[in-house]
A and B are shown apart, each in its own frame.
Chain A
Amino acid sequence: MNTAEKVRVSIAYAVSLASISLFVSAANVLAWLGMEIPRFLAALAIISLVPLLSDDIRKSSKLIAATAFFTIFALGVSLFLADHARIPGDPMDSFILLLVASLLLTGMKNAVKMLYSGLSFYIVGTFLLLAFSGIKIIILLADALDYYVNCIGEVCDPYGFALIPSIVLFILAIPAVYPYRHRNEFRRGVER
């Protein structure tokens, strides 16, 4: 695989990340409304197939296979989160994850063509996801600390750490920075 193909695989991966973000976003709204999170919501993973709309992806069987794999991967992660994660039910979190997904999907079209204009959206989307999930993890730790501070002088159970989607998203977002490392291979596009 040459660098361009590796970058395209990475972009297909990021689109699957966008579909997971959309799943968590929708799940957050449902949790906020006090509703159960249906397992069929994981079908949003189908969005991971969007890169197949691009000629640059379709012309390589490896890229088609990678896209299909990432779709199944996104479906698996979404189902795992639906079953095991504590969805916080914060509408603003939903908004931010929707924004991340929009940025990644907007960037996809031109990023697979190796154009800077696509990479721009891709970079901001990925960094925003890393910032979002990183801050949520710090907040989780602060919450644990607060719990123990409030426990001073009282008998308390150990803090119940729960898996939150941000932990999964943070880990999954790290490999998505790959195209950024190869930004010099991109070229300027002309738009009006």
Chain B
Amino acid sequence: MLVALAGNPNTGKSTVFNALTGLKQHVGNWPGVTVEKKEGWMEYNGKRIKVVDLPGTYSLTSYSVEEKVARNFIIEEKPDVIVHVVDASNLERNLYLLAELLDLHPRIVVALNMFDEARRKYEIDVEKMRNLLGLPVVPMVAIKGEGIEELKREIVHGKFNPRGVEYPEDIEKRIKALEEKIREMGLEPARWLAIKTLENDAEVIKKLSDIGARNILHDAEHLRHEIEDIYGDDIESVFASVRYSFAHGLFHEVAAPINVGGANITDMIDHVVTHRYFGIPIFIAIMYLAFQFVFLVAAPFQDAIDFMFNGKDVAGGHIDGLIDISYAWMSSFMPDWLASLINHGMLRGLGAVLTFMPVIMLLFLILSFLEDSGYLARVAFLMDSVMKKMGLEGRGVIPLMLGFGCNVPAVMATRTLKDENERRLSIALNPFIPCGARIQVFAFLSYIFFPENAALVLWSLLMLSILVVFILGYVYSKTLFRGESQPFVLELPPYRMPTMKGVSVHMWEKSEGFVRKAGTIIVGAAAIIWALAALPWGVEYGGEESYIGMLASLLAPVGYALGITPEAIISLFFGFFAKEVVIDVLYVLYGSKDAILAAMTPLQAYSFMLFMLFYTPCVATLATIYNETKSLKFTLFVVVEGFIVASIFAFAAYHIGTLLGVGA
């Protein structure tokens, strides 16, 4: 068995080496360089184990002889175990090397040396560190011989299930692309070589060049420029920043500093934004401001797009929009039904998609800004314990909060969740969060039916949705979406001012997918809804004799059981297309606000709102769910769970209210 000792200079590596090997050592030079090489032998339970003390290094780049010697030994000699000797009193700085080692070797024992000194600076949760890293971690004071026996035991019997650095998605996919090509050439360790090639590591590039891997070098250069463009920084700084984030995040997770504050801005801001009392209020304030920014700044652009497509009614008549103009033009040379399908079905669907665009783009603009600035990582850190209760990690709070704005980007934002099981759980819960459009409908109906208590009614609906999300999250995480939640290090990157280019690239990468993928499905679905509302040919569009009207009549008994009128059921059908439409449909069907008031009792209205709160999400959200999960079964599950929950609440509210004589 071969063991290598790695670590920063002055971490007590030689002391650990001496304590492990005693007098059985040999001192010489590494071949070709004047760097001291120490080898020795240790014995454990009759096993003779060779121990090699690698030169002390701060990283594994190829800039110094020591770094080259250390990494070449690991690659060429393939030690069975690496003992990473860490100066625990300077934990965060030492963890950078660990981040690099984890890219290179899976079997690492972390020796937290100088643990006595470390305890004067911070309290270290060793068990948590073991869980997060999936590696043996041994606290020790080598100079006093403390922890040496445990270290030996872990070297021989330790369990290794390493969880290394998680690179951001846009870097990870480029590493993977290169890794695959390197592996095809039979080179190992492929992942490390891919990372180092992307990092522009001179020695690795020379090695690949020597064996004629020109294609790989060409691809790497292209991918490197892409990463540099996205992050607006040179490649080495980008990779170093990810490793520092890992080190900073791990340090924050496992060490509670006794001294507070610090000279650098990241420490100072972290002191407040992850504060026990101020952390969550600050998060709520920032998210609220972000939402206000997105929805209020998007409004003029949405109105302009809506006007462009649909025109508008003005005092002097109607200004035609694109749909009207195009319909009139097409009707002149094609059958009316075809012109209507293209314009009232598909073009209207396209208009609806484009109306979403300002919200989507601004939402991702602000999310990218918060992410690139480093704040979102702190949110995940802050909410971790709360979200764990419902089977999600800390980052899961972001998609849920986004759901209050619009479920489409919220479902897309679940991509930040690393665990596929958690991601699906988050997607399954998201439609229960009422989006801005649904809230608009609730505000409208609350104002009509409960003029004195409109705010209270609206608040009760929002609270109920949060309660349902928490209960279902808890139940689902124990049943349908049960899984082993893998602990992982929440990276905490240093705060920085995001670059305009980086934020724009991130925003565009996320938004264009929505237009391209959801767009096609929405336009298709719009055509189907049009057909249901327009056929059989000649009937009133969306009237009782249309297929949609017939379906509503068919479902009327169910509606009555839930206290919902047939007209309201028709509006729910159209709400499937876009929730805002529900108000328009109610107006069209009833004719006026007074007629709506006369047609339903307050109890029926509340029951209707409860049903709308939980029933199927809109077609855009469903299209996005399908795109994100690539599972028709899962998408149907979301529809079915929505109808079940909606029916239970509407039925219960209506019948309990009737029994109690409330709101008749």
Contacts and interface: CB of A to CB of B under 8 A. Distances in A.
Nearest to B303: A149
A186 B286 CA distance: 27
Contacts of B271: 116-117, 120
B292 interface: yes
Interface stretch (A3-11, A19-27, A54-62, A128-136): A128-136
B293 A138 contact: yes
A92 interface: yes
A143 B296 contact: yes
Q: What is the interface of chain A mostly: helix, strand, loop, or mixed?
A: helix
Contact of B289 (A96, A120, A121, A153): A96
Interface in A134-153: 135, 138-139, 142-143, 145-146, 148-150, 152-153
Nearest to A139: B296
A146 B263 contact: no
B495 to A, nearest CB: 11
B262 interface: yes
Nearest to B366: A135
A25 B127 CA distance: 45
**Overall SS of chain B's interface:** helix
B650 to A, nearest CB: 29
Interface residues of A, number: 39
Given A142-B300, A149-B304, A188-B259, A123 B269 contact: yes
A135 B289 contact: yes
B265 A183 contact: yes
Contacts of B288: 92, 96
Contacts of B282: 99, 124, 128
B262 A116 contact: yes
A154 B314 contact: yes
A119 B260 CA distance: 12
A66 B470 CA distance: 51
Interface string A170-192: 00000000000001101011111
Nearest to B289: A135
A135 B285 contact: no
Interface string B244-265: 0000000000000011111101
Given A99-B285, A120-B272, A138 B319 contact: no
Interface residues on B, range: 35 or more
B299 interface: yes
Given A103-B278, A183-B265, A189-B260, A154 B289 contact: no
A42 interface: no
Given A99-B282, A149-B304, A135 B265 contact: no
B300 A124 contact: no
Contacts of A152: 307, 312, 319
A102 B279 CA distance: 13
B183 to A, nearest CB: 46
A142 B297 CA distance: 5
Contacts of A184: 263
A95 interface: yes
A87 interface: no
B315 interface: yes
A116 B261 contact: yes
Nearest to A140: B296
A154 B260 contact: no
Given A116-B268, A117-B271, A150 B315 contact: no
B487 interface: no
B300 A145 contact: yes
Contacts of B281: 95, 99
Interface in A69-119: 92, 95-96, 99, 102-103, 106, 115-117, 119
A164 B259 CA distance: 42
A104 B282 CA distance: 13
Nearest to A121: B272
Nearest to A100: B285
The 7 closest A-B pairs by CB, nearest first: A116-B261, A146-B300, A145-B300, A120-B268, A117-B261, A124-B272, A120-B271
Given A116-B260, A135-B292, A184-B263, 10 more contacts: A95-B281, A99-B278, A116-B262, A123-B269, A124-B272, A135-B289, A138-B297, A142-B299, A146-B303, A149-B300
12 contacts: A96-B289, A99-B281, A116-B271, A117-B260, A121-B278, A123-B265, A123-B268, A135-B293, A142-B299, A153-B314, A188-B262, A188-B263
Interface of B: 258-263, 265, 267-269, 271-273, 278, 281-282, 284-286, 288-289, 292-293, 296-297, 299-300, 303-304, 307, 312, 314-316, 319
